[in-house]
Amino acid sequence: GAGVSQTPSNKVTEKGKYVELRCDPISGHTALYWYRQSLGQGPEFLIYFQGTGAADDSGLPNDRFFAVRPEGSVSTLKIQRTERGDSAVYLCASSLPGQGRNEQFFGPGTRLTVL
């Protein structure tokens, strides 16, 4: 596809459950990012991958959050023991490396609701 895609578009789960959110970046984009956006707020950085490795995971709020990108393309954000405060839109973005990081292309997001 031409843009960043994310699945599912919506996810409703119960408190304490485990969820996985998937991101397919633009082909050829080696940099991939996850952000979280709460209602009425700007996106908040979670993690940045360059290739397969997490180059910056300083935004992950606690050890319930984990992300992988095993082949340097698709990425999965994993949230264990979900809490109601995890409810938000999870955005994925991708870019070229180096100066390309100034042009991050965002997907439509996954809207997570924890009941």
Partner 1 sequence: QKEVEQDPGPLSVPEGAIVSLNCTYSNSAFQYFMWYRQYSRKGPELLMYTYSSGNKEDGRFTAQVDKSSKYISLFIRDSQPSDSATYLCAMRGGSSNTGKLIFGQGTTLQVKP
HSE-up of residue 27 (Cα within 13 Å, Cβ side):
2
8 part of the interface to partner 1, by CB under 8 A? no
Least spacing, CB of residue 57 vs partner 1, in Å? 10
25-64 positions binding partner 1, by CB under 8 A: 31, 33, 35, 40-45, 48, 50, 55-56, 58-59
Strands 10-13 and 19-24: unpaired
1 part of the interface to partner 1, by CB under 8 A? no
Of these, 4, 67, 112, 114, which contacts partner 1 (CB under 8 A)? Answer: 4
For 14, phi then psi, to 5°, come to: -100, 150
Q: How far apart are the first and last CA of the chain?
A: 33
